[in-house]
Amino acid sequence: MSLPVYHVQAVAGDAVFLPCDISITDDLPAHQQGTQDAVLLVLWYREDLGTPIYSVDARERDFKHAEKWSDEHVFSNRAYFMPERRPAQLGVDNVRESDAGMYRCRVDFKIAQTRNSKVNLTVVGDENDKRITQTSPYGLDNKATKLYSTSKPSVKIL
């Protein structure tokens, strides 16, 4: 089964918001109908790393008081979780070119099956130092902006 993929673009230096569906659904098996489900754990992964880079852990406490952790080598104190948004979002301040890539959000519930989704984050280089000018063979100047994504940087003509 393929995972849903969100595509998010951000300008380097700005904040970015990565969506993650943590909603509780009513489609529980018949023998569990009427039981109160809850989010226990939210884990964020970056595709090129094998371990979580951000977590929201409510396994031993109410979700409002969940313990949050961010990998100091990835987002450090730039990341924060916003469960009140629909869908919930992982906010990252001062996004960097090195933040570009494919991310996976994993949500573990008390009863329901684990839910995964992916976010492909593209970071557009800062206008002040990433803008380049190319001269066309027709004597016209075209401005271009460097894009940073999961693949090698490419140039997009504006």
Q: What is the pLDDT of residues 86-122, one digit of tens each?
A: 999 999 999 999 999 999 999 999 999 999 999 999 9
Q: Return the structure tokens found at 127.
A: 């206008």
**Cross-strand pairs, 34:** none
Burial tier of 8 (Cβ tally within 10 Å: 0-12, 13-18, 19+): middle
pLDDT attached to residue 55: 97
Mind listing the domains of the chain with CATH numbers?
5-122 (2.60.40.10)
Q: How far apart are the first and last CA of the chain?
A: 37
Whether the CB-CB separation of 118 and 112 falls below 8 Å is answered with no
pLDDT attached to residue 8: 96
Q: For 23, phi and psi rounded to 5 degrees? A: -65, 145
* 2 — pLDDT class (breaks 50, 70, 90): confident
Give dist(CA 116, CA 158) in Å, integer. 35
pLDDT attached to residue 30: 54
Cα angle, residue 29 at apex, residues 87 and 103 outer, rounded to 5°? 30
Give dist(CA 132, CA 138) in Å, integer. 18
pLDDT attached to residue 124: 92
Q: For 31, phi and psi rounded to 5 degrees? A: -70, -10
pTM: 0.74
Whether the CB-CB separation of 93 and 15 falls below 8 Å is answered with yes
